[in-house]
Amino acid sequence: MSIDYTQRIPNNVDLSSDRRLQRALENWQPRFLEWWKDMGPDGTLNFDVYLRTAISAEANGWANFGYVKMPDYRWGIFLAGQDPNRVIAYGDNKGKPVWQEVPGELRSTLRRLIVTQGDTEPASVEQQRLLGKTAPSLYDLRNVFQINCEEGRHLWAMVYLLHAYFGRDGREEAEMLLERHSGDPDKPRILGAFNEKTPDWLSFFMFTYFTDRDGKYQLASLAESGFDPLARSCRFMLIEEAHHMFVGESGVQRIVQRTCDLMKEHKTDDVRSLGAIDLPTIQKYLNFHFSVSLDLFGQEASTNAANYYTMGVKGRYLETRIEDDHVLTDSSFDMDTADAGRIVRKTVPALSALNERLRNDYIEDCARGLIRWNRVIEQAGIAFELRLPHRAFNRRIGAFNELNVSPEGKVMSEAEWKANEHKWLPTDEDRAYVTSLMGPAVVEPGKFANWIAPPQRGINNQPANFEYVRFN
């Protein structure tokens, strides 16, 4: 069904046929806008931003580009098309038709999954709200705003499900999604990584590379849900998510490019003296964001994950493309875990290892960007390699929480870890240095801050000096 933009809330779910639901969401809408004004990108209400808006929920040709004032962005409810023959692909309910309503016994489980996903969406907007002040170019400024608008839309996607399928509890949860705030000591966001700060653009690009990618994997496994409206919501969100990860990957790549260009041109490693970000500092930020994002996948051994799977609410990454029985009661899985102060390999029941399996898929995906970043370094003839740290490095959640592990995977005493931490994670001094580069926003079309290279091409094939944001 195509998106109806004549409605106050654009949608492709025939919202006007359910007056009660429509009214409830129209009541929530001004509260969302209030939140956007208070907690969204700071001081931007008058900007005209060259943004894409969904015009159809089909895979191709869905984006429409034009100047929009962000509070006027057409946030709405867009679900990917329905497959009338879709069946549950795994677990106890394998082969049965997917659910169009929430089965009573899965109500609280599904609600919790939707709330946890929904909570991350406005959280990242809050984390990024000051970045516009220090954007390295109009191109980058536009990209952070695009991401913010789409994360706002992802919140809409989850709030629609809560309102439409979870009655009063759902409406209350939708309110709470606007009341918790990133880093708020009294009402923090649910997950740790979403209470961290995103104070500078290196952090932003690492966040969109690593943490938005966690989002991709969570959404992809929820896109396998037997609860069809959730699956269809996530399928469309994944299309939007791809751009966020592109911004992260290309952003880091452009920083690496600029650093290497300066190293070559001035025949020095000391690019800080030239106002750029040295490769070891980039590695430390990478270490931080990767390890924090790994925690988002939860415990290695998880009965919750097993139950989600068995009940048919959350599948594996690309479940239907995996060749096995999709029940997993007789399967096992090999994984690293901690035991008596060491990292050990264990064979465990596959059902209890689903978080770890998803984390594996994620790590593999993360490694691909590093190949491209390292190619830039190699092409500059510089002997340096960016690496993903060991999965046990700097973990707060799961079995490795009890160990002190170096990026190479060596287990050590706490004293040894503490003595080396400054080499592996950004120090206060590193952060202060990176922050010091973040300067007033570069607002001249076609110009870029000194520490980052221009992108290879513009958004929607616009020329290099395109005016992506007009400030009025």
Residues lying near Fe ion in the complex (CB under 5 A) are found at 121, 151, 154, 212, 241, 244
Minimum CB distance to Fe ion, residue 216 (Å): 8
Tokens found for residue 251: 């952003």
Nearer to Fe ion, 154 or 431 (CB): 154
Nearer to Fe ion, 121 or 300 (CB): 121
Minimum CB distance to Fe ion, residue 73 (Å): 15
Minimum CB distance to Fe ion, residue 394 (Å): 23
Residue 270 buriedness (CB in 10 A; 0-12 / 13-18 / 19+): exposed
Minimum CB distance to Fe ion, residue 219 (Å): 8
Minimum CB distance to Fe ion, residue 215 (Å): 5
Residue 27: how many CB atoms within 10 A of its CB?
12
Nearer to Fe ion, 32 or 400 (CB): 32
Nearer to Fe ion, 211 or 281 (CB): 211
In this structure, are residues 128 and 144 in contact, taking their beta carbons and an 8 Å threshold?
Answer: yes
Nearer to Fe ion, 200 or 241 (CB): 241
Minimum CB distance to Fe ion, residue 89 (Å): 24
Nearer to Fe ion, 53 or 93 (CB): 53
Residue 298: how many CB atoms within 10 A of its CB?
18
Minimum CB distance to Fe ion, residue 240 (Å): 7
The helix-helix angle for 19-39 and 138-165 (nearest 10°) equals 150
The helix-helix angle for 354-379 and 303-311 (nearest 10°) equals 100
Handedness of CA 366, 369, 371, 373 (dihedral sign): negative
How far, in whole angstroms, is CA 269 from its chain's centroid?
32
The helix-helix angle for 167-179 and 19-39 (nearest 10°) equals 10
387-391: long-range contacts at Cβ-Cβ below 8 A with a sequence spacing of 24 or more? 387/283, 388/286, 388/290, 388/363, 389/286, 389/287, 389/290, 389/291, 389/424, 391/294, 391/336, 391/359, 391/363
Nearest to 139 by CA among 466, 434, 449: 466
Instruction: Measure the CA–CA gap between 14 and 55, rounded to whole angstroms.
Output: 15
Nearer to Fe ion, 125 or 164 (CB): 125
